[in-house]
Amino acid sequence: MPVVIKRIMFFVFLLLVWQGIVLLGIWPESMIPSPFSVVNELYLGFKDMTLVYDITASFRHLFIGLFLAILIGTGLGVLLAKVKTADETLGTMILALQSVPSIVWVPLAIIWFGFGETSIIFVVVIGGTFVMTMNIRTGVKNVSPIYLKAAKTMGSKGLDLFFKVVIPAAVPHAVTGVRLAWAFSWRALMAAELLSTGPGLGYTLSYASDFNNMSLVIGIIMIIGVIGSIVDQLVFHRIENKVLRRWGLEEAA
């Protein structure tokens, strides 16, 4: 049976279970609304363009923050890989900060930048930078010595060696870093937007929660999950697989 059919059957089963729970009245509908109520709320949100504006705003915050995270993370990763002192000092701190949840940075961002877009972008940058840094560091440090020796034998050295041998060899780790940076940044974005003044999916989620609109709350949670899954599977997962096959790290299907 094709994977697509299996997934469709699985989600149809979940919807039936969900509707069954509502019909049996196990929990009040104010806590768990019916699927039809959620779909209707999403329809109204897209009809009046509110959710369209929210999604657009969220992606704008994400793209700016992710771009900066990739840029900063790449620079820091190369620094840690090439400078031993930096790796032993700054690298230790980055490794520790990588384990700090993104939501922890929200109060600090608000104190520094207020409730505007700058705070949101700051949290997104923090969310993606550290994981990108560690992946670039690993990729640059783990370049096969055989490649380096062969290139040096042919007269390559310095920047020429770095750009023609080290960077290409580190591409698989860089691509994985970008994929992880996207995932971490997306989560960080939602955490930051929860305390923002809008617009954005996180802000509307917080707004719906304040007014006990559980249909909209669940609907936005579903949108966040669907967007995250679609972008990861259709964009980053495919790119990562192509790069791994191109570099001979994974067998072609």
pLDDT digits (tens, 9 = 90+) for 74-129: 999 999 998 989 988 999 999 888 888 888 898 899 899 888 889 999 999 999 99
User: Domain of 25?
Assistant: 1-32
Q: How many domains does the chain have?
A: 2
Tell me if 81 is assigned to some domain: yes
The candidate with the shortest Cα–Cα distance to 73, out of 117, 120, 127, is: 127
Clarify whether residues 4 and 66 are in a common domain.
no
- Domain for residue 10, yes or no? yes
Q: Model confidence over 37-84: pLDDT tens digits? A: 999 999 999 998 999 999 999 999 999 999 999 999 999 999 999 898
Please check whether residues 44 and 62 belong to one and the same domain.
yes
How far apart, in whole angstroms, are the C-alpha atoms of residue 158 and residue 153? 13
Q: What are phi and psi of 129, to 5 degrees?
A: -65, -50
State pTM to two decimals. Answer: 0.86
* Measured CA distances, 138 to 109, 177, 196 (Å): 29, 10, 35
Contact (Cβ atoms closer than 8 angstroms) between residue 149 and residue 190: no
Classify residue 49: in a domain, yes or no. yes
